[in-house]
Amino acid sequence: MSDLRVFGLRGIGDVSAGDDLASALLESVAGADERLVDDDIVVVTHKVVSKQEGRVVEILDEQAYRRLVEDESMDIIRRRGDLVIARTRHGFICANAAVDRSNVASGFAVLLPIDPDRSAHRIRNRLERATGASLGVIITDTFGRPWRRGLVDVAIGVSGVLAILDLVGTTDTHGNELQVTEVAVVDEVAAAADLVMGKATGIPAAVVRGLHVAGNGRATDLVRPAAEDLFR
Amino acid sequence: MSDLRVFGLRGIGDVSAGDDLASALLESVAGADERLVDDDIVVVTHKVVSKQEGRVVEILDEQAYRRLVEDESMDIIRRRGDLVIARTRHGFICANAAVDRSNVASGFAVLLPIDPDRSAHRIRNRLERATGASLGVIITDTFGRPWRRGLVDVAIGVSGVLAILDLVGTTDTHGNELQVTEVAVVDEVAAAADLVMGKATGIPAAVVRGLHVAGNGRATDLVRPAAEDLFR
């Protein structure tokens, strides 16, 4: 396997509804004296995608925020104090149904895109048409984990890459069949990209270069079916 | 933030109890025409560390394997069919108490190191003495997630780096205090490294270069205290 390179896309600035996000991404790539090549994966935090899609809601007070979280929740999994662990319409289980008040003007909250896989597909189409390269696009959000402190970025929208790398039937160097067969490769890419994006640095996107995982995955492939869920 | 580079360490081969793992890592770095520099993070899958520490157990049959899983479990969180979600002595909650039959001779299982933070520290000391560089070491394992399909690598042993990057008090570009304050940076590094390591490729280690997260973190910092756990 070849080396991996991850570089952040700077200078994208604040994004408003209807902005041309794909062009902003391409300008940032050009500004870094780079160009996108086959198999590059462009990773974008959902925040700028949601803003571009107008998924920003004014919240007058804390009560309005709580109501918004309930509205965005298909199912409340746990509740403790102000913290709600909820299932979103997409099937993601996360804190506060992913309603977020960071990196948006005070008094507003950002929701997830309605269909983040479709958002990723739309961005990918634009980038591929402009560059002629075969690309992947991953849209990310930052999720907690029930038993591990700290948060990590995960994929909530995917286009042009495998979501899960299935090693079923693969044998290890001892000839045993691998026990670990399904790797959530897009979540690992999302985590890698977050290392150069950061939360407060104004770098909302990154390019991951050197992986060869082209495919037709969707982030919804990552949602564990209710029948397999031991923790609901 | 600067670019990130991730490259796999090849040619380490199989590891036995008492082998000189640090020297094998250094030989592999040299074989890639590289040398370790300040702030490099060396990521090693626990499998080779456990083997080097003799944490390999013969299992005569399926029943012996099940018994071993019970022995390694401090607490059984859920059980369904053959799957046991258990808390290990370290506090990690994962499938089968991390007892693993891949990448080991048939009829044997590999356990986690007794104290993976200490293992990481030991490897780091050896690497730093040999190179004169200030390094980080992360030992990884592959964990599932309750609500997301597919597995990702996480940090189970840490030395020389921050486990959690705490952004408390940091403001975003809008002047809001960030809601997301604790980033599990070592888990993101573990995930990034797995992208070049793979499960069946005989690449049990990688170098992550370009991050500046030196610190005194421990993987046990990542264990969520029972009082905060909503899913036990």
Chain B residues within an 8 Å CB radius of A1:
8, 196-198, 201, 203
Number of residues that make up chain A = 232
Domain count, chain B: 2
Contacting residues for A129 by C-beta, under 8 A, at least 6 apart: none
CATH code of the domain in which B67 resides: 3.90.1660.10
A147/B5 CB distance under 8 A: no
Chain B residue whose CA is closest to A211: B195
Query: A156 lies in a domain?
Result: yes
The β-bridge partners of A138 are A43, A158
Q: Are residues B24 and B104 in the same domain?
A: no
B191/A191 CB distance under 8 A: yes
Domain of residue B191, residue span: 5-54+115-223
Whether the predicted interface score ipTM is above 0.90: yes
Q: Are residues B135 and B50 in the same domain?
A: yes
Instruction: Find residues 136-195 of chain B whose CB sits inside 8 Å of chain A.
Output: 142, 145-154, 163-165, 167, 170-180, 182-185, 187-189, 191-192, 194-195
Distance CA A91, CA A75 (A): 9
Residue A194 has φ and ψ, to the nearest 5°, of -60, -25
Query: B41 lies in a domain?
Result: yes
Residue B199 pLDDT = 67
Query: A11 lies in a domain?
Result: yes
> Which 8-state DSSP code applies to residue A227?
G
Per-residue pLDDT of chain B (232 residues; tens, 9 = 90+): 459 999 999 989 888 998 999 999 999 999 989 999 999 999 999 999 999 999 999 999 999 999 999 999 999 999 988 889 999 999 999 999 999 988 788 899 999 999 999 999 999 999 999 999 999 999 999 999 999 999 999 999 999 999 999 877 777 677 776 666 799 999 999 999 999 997 667 899 999 999 999 999 999 999 999 888 888 7
- H or E segment to which residue B64 belongs: helix B62-72
Query: B230 lies in a domain?
Result: no
Query: A232 lies in a domain?
Result: no
Q: Are residues A127 and A191 in the same domain?
A: yes
The structure's pTM equals: 0.95
Contacting residues for B63 by C-beta, under 8 A, at least 6 apart: none
Closest CA to A150 of B112, B174, B115, B228: B228
Q: Give B39 to chain A, closest Cα distance, Å.
A: 14
Amino acid sitting at position A227: A
CATH code of the domain in which A48 resides: 3.30.1330.100
Q: Are residues A197 and A120 in the same domain?
A: yes
Domain end, chosen from B76, B111, B146, is at: B111
Q: Are residues B49 and B87 in the same domain?
A: no
Instruction: Find residues 16-75 of chain B whose CB sits inside 8 Å of chain A.
Output: none
Q: Are residues A89 and A203 in the same domain?
A: no
Q: Are residues A47 and A106 in the same domain?
A: no
Query: B231 lies in a domain?
Result: no
Query: A195 lies in a domain?
Result: yes
Sign, CA dihedral B116-B118-B120-B123, equals negative
Q: Are residues B39 and B144 in the same domain?
A: yes
Query: Out of B182, B188, B203, whose CB is closest to A1?
Result: B203
Query: A153 lies in a domain?
Result: yes
Which residue pairs from A165-169 have beta carbons closer than 8 angstroms and sit at least 24 positions apart in sequence? A165/A213, A165/B150, A167/B199, A167/B200
